[in-house]
Each structure stands twice: as structure tokens, then as C-alpha cells.
Amino acid sequence: MSETVVLSTSPIHFRWRDHQVELPALQVNAGCTLGVMGPSGSGKSTLLRWLLGDAPNYVKVLGKIYVAGDRVDELTIAERSMGIVFQDILLFPHLSVIDNLLFALPRAQRKLSRQDQVEHVLAELEQVQLAKFAQALPTALSGGQRARVGLLRALLNEPRVLLLDEPFAALDQSLRERIRDWAFQRCHERGIATVMVSHQSDDFATATDNQVAVMQWPESQL
């Protein structure tokens, strides 16, 4: 397991109109996962949105974010090398699976020929047993298939940091475990630092061959 720090922050201060929360400095190494647990509405998703560069305007956030040692909290979303996957997988409904994935390719791979891009994406779909759905629309997929496509789209963009906002919550237990473990393993193999929000502790306890730290969201203060 690499000890290279990919994502780090200073101590973070969140302030809403009627309460505030303080988090300690965070650190996530390459291939490792930081799990964030806590009650609904406490601000866990706000943490992910702030890391991404999309903090809601109803909360004031103070803190610094570093990716591979470079400060990024003053950069745009596109410049932060982060990807995010939500519980509601946001695929373009009018585009086929393969076109959804081609849309996510990083700039360097978009310079390749169309054929090379397609072959690359088809090879990735083959690895998750979804190649036969390459031309299907997202509406033709099951919940588990959409979850895999959503995760694959985020990974194809080659982020250094992946943010997961309860992306497995709508899946049944068996499917949840399979897709969750696949996602953790892919992030581990590619050295991606992952921050995942969940209500279920077993989302982190069974992560295969992965270092997982779990942070309990602190009580809010008036």
C-alpha cells in the first residue's frame, strides 16, 4: 500500500445560519479510503461538495484543500482532478452507455482516434461485464448496472480523488456488496484516494485489500 498522501486538508470549519461544525485536518493516501458516517442532514454531503468545488451558498466553509501537495481550494472544479458519484447515478438519458463513457474521457485520450477511444471504453466495459449494453440507453439498465456505469465513468476520467456520496444506498444487500467491493478494489489498484459518505458501517469494514479510516461526523455547535 502506498504511503503517498494524495488528498489532505487543513482543519475545516462549516457554518450554517443556526449551527456550525469543525472537522480536524483530513488525509487520504493513494489507494486508501476515508469513510464519513453521521446522521442525515449533518453536512456530510456538504463536505464532498466543498472538496469538489461546489459548496452550497447557504453554508460558509473555511479550510484549505491539497491534492498531491498542491493547493486546489481556489481552483475550479475542472482543475481539481476529482470525480464524484451520487446515490442517484446521473447519466445522460439520451446518450447510449458508450457515449456516456466517451464523454468522460480525459483530454489526453480525446486526442486519440474515435476508434481507439471506443476500443478503450469497450475494454473497460468488458471488465465489468457490461460490454453487451454498450449501445443501450441508461433507462434499459438495472440499478446495479447503472451504478457500475456511473462508477466506471468517474474512473475513466482518471481522477486523483474520488468522492462517493452513498452511491450504493439504493441497491439490495448482495448487489451492494459486490459493486462496493469492485469500486474499492479499482480505486486501490489505481492509487485513487477515496472519500465516501455512508450510513452503513459495513460499507467500510469489508473493503477488500484496502486501508480504510472511518470518521464519525461530529456534533453540531450553536
**pLDDT tens-digit profile of 163-193?**
999 888 878 888 888 888 888 888 999 999 9
Q: Domains (ranges, CATH) in the chain? A: 5-216 (3.40.50.300)
**pLDDT tens-digit profile of 119-137?**
999 999 998 889 999 999 9
The predicted structure's pLDDT at residue 210? 52
The predicted structure's pLDDT at residue 132? 96
pLDDT tier for residue 148 given thresholds of 50, 70 and 90:
confident
Query: Helices marked H in the chain — which ranges?
Result: 44-52, 97-102, 107-110, 114-127, 143-156, 173-190, 202-205
Give the predicted TM-score (pTM) of the model. Answer: 0.90
What is the average pLDDT score of the chain?
A: 89
**pLDDT tens-digit profile of 30-72?**
999 999 998 888 899 999 999 999 999 999 999 999 999 999 9
The predicted structure's pLDDT at residue 172? 82
Q: Are 197 and 42 in contact (CB under 8 A)?
A: no
Q: For a pLDDT cut of 90, what percent of the chain falls above it?
A: 63
